[in-house]
Amino acid sequence: MDSPHLLSPSSSSSSYSSDGVNFETEEPRTPLAVRRALQLLYSGEAELRLQAARDIRRLTKTSQRCRRQLAEAVGPLVSMLQVDSAESHEPALLALLNLAVKDEKNKISIVEAGALEPIISFLKSEDLNLQESATASLLTLSASSTNKPIISACGAIPLLVEILGDGSPQAKADTVMALSNLSTHPNNLSIILKTNPIPFIVDILKTCKTSSKTAEKCCALIESLVDYDEGRIALTSEEGGVLAVVEVLENGTLQSREHAVGALLTMCQSDRCKYREPILKEGVIPGLLELTVQGTPKSQSKARNLLQLLRESPYPRSEIQPDTLENIVCNIISQIDGDDQSGKAKKMLAEMVQVSMEQSLRHLQQRALVCTPGDLPIAGCASGVSSK
């Protein structure tokens, strides 16, 4: 995933359109602006190069065409990160960031030009603005599958995890998403795990909105990390760790809830005896019931599987007592301490049944509507259409 926030310039840009440039057909202004920025960038004067970086940042704010036209600016901008004064670091970095957004070729060329070493050094900067720009840049660059192992090999992951603990709120949010990007490369997940990030991820999950992108990426990371025993132990050892995941399962976005239920299911599948009680005591049942009806297809399946594991016996019942969802849930409810949780779960079960019946009725009506007068009767038609 690319950086979610494009960095617009603070300098005057009122003469430009919302794209930063007017791209009407045959408009000479755009190539002229690009050529001027490149001329300034290749000049030997530091002040002119600085102005060029600011112009490139503006021109590439939202314009994909300008990102392509200014691709050759990557090398000189990276050299500004490496050798120029500290004053030029942030303007050059922000120009590179905008060049990389939604442009795979630029992402790769920025890394190939040697940008990672200075960017990673900026993660340790006392200048919080520069540190934020560095984390945003790594977030964008890590969206490229080509760059993921290179970023890890350069030692970025431990420094990113440090920012999870002591960075600014924006730097923390970008770092979570950068780590989520990096975690999709097979070798990177074990490196992330060794840095013990879960306490920091849980802290961020507790303070961010459960419906936010940050919460989604936190849960995606947790779901990946609990594949390992160290990750499961870290989550249950962290005060409020499992509860934070349960709260996202209840109130997060559809994707966040899918990651949350996936994490809890992975834990319970790995060692039911060890993790069943820690999950149950956080009041997970109402959220799971809702997911079985209103979640994504994957969430519904995972929620049903987790409910099955949370019952008193993990093994199927006899034919006399079939393993319906209602039986599984009633079995769990009978073991929950406290009238509040039990009452809420029973209410949710009733609502779930009502919603399920309404959905089934709508589905039957939709199937009936596909029939034409020359088709089979409604009953035959309904039986001949597969459910989706």
Backbone angles phi, psi at 94, to 5 degrees: -70, -35
Say if residues 201 and 218 touch (Cβ distance below 8 Å).
Answer: yes
Rounded CA gap, 251 and 264, in Å?
15
* Per-residue pLDDT at 5 exceeds 70: no
Say if residues 235 and 226 touch (Cβ distance below 8 Å).
Answer: yes
Q: Which tokens in the block code for residue 314?
A: 């993990």
Say if residues 166 and 198 touch (Cβ distance below 8 Å).
Answer: no
Q: Which of 48-52, 338-342, 376-380 has the highest mean pLDDT?
A: 48-52
Rounded CA gap, 54 and 90, in Å?
10
pLDDT of residue 83: 84
pLDDT tens column, 203-244: 999 999 999 999 999 999 999 999 999 999 999 999 999 999
Q: Which tokens in the block code for residue 332?
A: 């769990």
Say if residues 286 and 271 touch (Cβ distance below 8 Å).
Answer: no
pLDDT tens column, 123-178: 999 999 999 999 999 999 999 999 999 999 999 999 999 999 999 999 999 999 99
Rounded CA gap, 263 and 319, in Å?
31
Tokens 């005057």 map to which residue?
A: 12
Of 7 and 386, which is predicted with more confidence?
Answer: 7
Sign of CA dihedral 79, 80, 86, 91: negative
* Per-residue pLDDT at 370 exceeds 90: no
pLDDT tens column, 241-270: 999 999 999 999 999 999 999 999 999 999
Over its C-alpha atoms, the chain yields an Rg (Å, rounded) of 27
Say if residues 143 and 161 touch (Cβ distance below 8 Å).
Answer: no
Rounded CA gap, 11 and 40, in Å?
17
Say if residues 213 and 181 touch (Cβ distance below 8 Å).
Answer: no
Say if residues 37 and 30 touch (Cβ distance below 8 Å).
Answer: no
* Per-residue pLDDT at 310 exceeds 90: yes
Q: Which residues are CB-contacts of 251 (< 8 A; sequence separation ≥ 6)?
A: 210, 211
Angle between helices 297-310 and 325-333 (to 10 degrees): 50
How far lies 183's CA from each of 98, 145, 189, 206, 385, in Å? Answer: 23, 11, 5, 21, 41
Rounded CA gap, 139 and 2, in Å?
6
How far lies 187's CA from each of 146, 149, 164, 211, 324, in Å? Answer: 13, 8, 21, 30, 41
